[in-house]
Structure 1
Amino acid sequence: MAGFLDRAKEKAETALSQGKEKVGEVQAQREGQALLRRLGTAYFNEQRGTGSAQEVQDALQALHAHVAEHGDGFLTRG
């Protein structure tokens, strides 16, 4: 009986770990998408004359940092 409980506990811990990993991936994708929107907004505002080149540069640097840490998987089309 103890062997069964040990295996069940191990499987539950593995599932929990996988779930936490997936949540982290989803959060990183959402953050990346938000950074893309920020960059797009900054660029659009700069082109309209209501924003600055510095805002575009700041948004681009934040996006580069995110990609360096989490990869560019959120950049898929669709």
Structure 2
Amino acid sequence: MAGFLDRAKEQAQRGIAQGKQKLDEVQAQRAGHDLLRRLGAAYYAEQQGSGGSEATQQALSAVQDHVAAHGDAFLRS
């Protein structure tokens, strides 16, 4: 009986770990999409004359930092 409970506990822990990993991936994708939106808004404002190149550069840098930390998978989704 103890062997069965140990296996069930291990399987539950693996399921929890997989769920947490998926949650982390989804959160990283959402953050990446938000950064892309900010970059697009900064670029648009710059092109319309209501924003500066510094804001666009900062937004681009934030996207590059995110890619370095989490990869570029969010760019393909």
- Asked if residue 4 in structure 1 is aligned to residue 4 in structure 2, the reply is yes
Give the superposed CA RMSD.
0.7
> Secondary structure in 1 aligned to 2:69?
helix
- Aligned partners of 2:43 and 2:2: how far apart in 1? 62
Unpaired runs of at least 5, structure 1:
none
**How many pairs does the alignment contain?**
77
**Structure 1 runs, 4 residues or longer, greater than 6 Å off:** none
Matches within 5 A, 1:31-50: 31-50=31-50
> How far 1:56 moved relative to its partner?
0.2
- Aligned partners of 1:76 and 1:62: how far apart in 2? 18
Equivalent position of 1:58 in the other structure: 58
- Aligned partners of 1:30 and 1:40: how far apart in 2? 15
Residue identity over aligned pairs, in percent, reads: 60
Equivalent position of 1:26 in the other structure: 26
Equivalent position of 2:74 in the other structure: 74
Equivalent position of 1:13 in the other structure: 13
